[in-house]
Each structure stands twice: as C-alpha cells, then as structure tokens.
C-alpha cells in the first residue's frame, strides 16, 4: 500500500525547498487521458449526428486530428464550417446549425459510451485506487461538458463516481478553454491546494500549457492523436500509465508494472 506523507520536506530532500509540500492532489484531464474518447467516442458521434441531420460532410480520423487544435466540440464545428462549401453563409445560421449538431452529437456520444464501446485507458483505474488508499485528493479538469464526463465515468466507474473526486471542473465552469489555465485555477481553488502540491495528468499540448499556466506540474500519458506531439514543459512523458517502458525520464522503480502513485510522487518531488 502506498501512503503519501503531507509533512514538509527538509531543505536537502531531493533538492526541494523546505516550503514545498508533498503531493496532495492529482488533477485529471478526460478526453484522451482517461479514455480514448476522441477517436472512439466523439468522432464517431459527430459523424452519426452529421448523417442523422442530413449534413453533407463527414470527418475522417486525419481531419479530426487537425481539428483537435481547436478546443471544444462546438468551436471545432464552427471552425470547420468556414471551409465547408455547403455550410450556411450567415454566421448566425452557422451557429444555430452547430448548436443542433453538437446537441445531437452529445446524445450519440452518451449512447456510445453507455454501450461499453470505450474503456478507461490502462492504469487509470489503478491510479484512482492508489489515490483513494493514500488519501490523495482527485479532481477532473476538462474542456468537455459535464454531461460527457458523467456519461463516461458512470459507465466505467458506476453511479457513485462523483464521490471519488473532490472537484469536477468542466466546460460550463471554465469557459476559457485550454490552453488557458482557467480550469486548473478553479480546480485548485475548490481543492484549497497550492499549485506546487498538485500534479496534472494530461495527453495533449494544450493541456500541458494550461496546467503549466497555473504552475501545476504535468505528467503526460500520450493518446493516439498526440502520440508524437512536442510537449515542452512536461515533467514526464510516456505511452501509457499502464506500463513502465518508454517513459522519459525513465521510471525509477524497475520492478513496477505500471505508473503508480509512488512513481508519480518521485517525479513530483524531484521537479
């Protein structure tokens, strides 16, 4: 069992200053981090919504990868409409169509997730358990909607999923989306935890920028759409929380089979 002490570090401990607290909170991104929801959920649901509404375009995986540079599903729609020859010419009509598509997309997304098509990524559930045993608080920090978060976590954890998170900050709570740090700042305020005592888990450059903008250290578990993205500022980067190979810097515990809370704490203490 892994326990995290909340005592203050001595001046000589791993080079950390005396005022720095040990790890007290783990802050989770959702899409791409908890599960491969972008490829296996949102993209599928968007294309289903296009078809159901008679919208004459579809997004390929390659096009959706490009659109992920734009934060937020509704914002991606509006961005893409600017290049679609058959989208409404008037801005107000484009916004109205984007709203209809996005609303139906979220309904289809909930059905896809509820049908069991998207699992949590390896190592995620085990880290949830690590944090619960060690009394390390957890938060959700995402630019997706609360309904989408609920759909995923109800399906994968159960109807009482909310009790595991001390804060849940979604698109409705932080309208200035990543890479803006607003979602992190609001989560830290709700947790009443200083930034240097928290650690973020992200998968994409915008998430890294958002966390670092709030002075929160970041560990990146790469997702399919950001498998080779440049991620300056990340504390550690690897392919999956479910394995110890391929991480930079290397995992310090050679007998570990996954990235556990103890390894995250070692990285966090050494920053």
- Residue 269 to residue 15: CA distance in whole angstroms: 9
Sign of CA dihedral 259, 222, 232, 19: negative
For the chain, give the longest Cα–Cα distance.
65
Sign of CA dihedral 83, 85, 86, 92: positive
Catalytic pick among 11, 29, 40, 130: 29
Confirm if 131 and 26 have CB atoms less than 8 A apart.
yes
- Angle at alpha carbon of residue 59, lines to 238 and 153, rounded to 5°: 50
40 burial level (CB within 10 Å; 0-12, 13-18, 19+) = middle
DSSP 216: -
* The residue to which tokens 């950001």 are assigned: 226
Confirm if 218 and 206 have CB atoms less than 8 A apart.
no
Is residue 31 part of the annotated active site? The answer reads yes
Active site residues: 29, 31
């Amino acid at each position: 069992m892994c326990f995290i002490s909340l005592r203050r570090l001595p001046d000589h401990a791993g080079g950390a200053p005396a005022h720095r607290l040990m790890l007290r909170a783990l802050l989770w991104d959702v899409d791409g981090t908890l599960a491969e929801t972008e490829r296996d959920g949102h993209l599928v649901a968007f294309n289903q919504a296009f078809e159901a509404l008679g919208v004459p375009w579809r997004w390929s995986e390659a096009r959706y990868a490009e659109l992920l540079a734009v934060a937020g599903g509704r914002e991606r729609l509006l961005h893409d409409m600017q290049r679609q020859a058959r989208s409404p010419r008037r801005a107000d009509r484009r916004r109205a169509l984007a709203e209809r598509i996005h609303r139906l997309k979220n309904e289809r997304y909930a059905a896809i997730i509820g049908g069991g098509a998207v699992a949590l990524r390896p190592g995620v559930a085990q880290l949830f358990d690590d944090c619960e045993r060690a009394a390390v608080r957890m938060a959700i920090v995402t630019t997706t909607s609360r309904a989408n978060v609920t759909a995923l976590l109800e399906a994968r954890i159960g109807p009482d999923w909310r009790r595991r998170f001390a804060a849940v900050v979604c698109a409705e709570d932080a309208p200035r989306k990543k890479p803006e740090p607003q979602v992190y700042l609001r989560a830290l305020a709700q947790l009443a935890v200083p930034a240097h005592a928290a650690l973020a888990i992200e998968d994409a450059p915008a998430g890294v920028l958002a966390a670092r903008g709030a002075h929160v250290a970041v560990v990146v578990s790469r997702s399919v759409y950001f498998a080779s993205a440049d991620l300056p500022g990340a504390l550690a980067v690897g392919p999956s929380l479910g394995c110890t190979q391929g991480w930079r810097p290397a995992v310090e515990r050679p007998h570990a089979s996954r990235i556990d809370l103890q390894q995250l704490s070692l990285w966090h203490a050494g920053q």
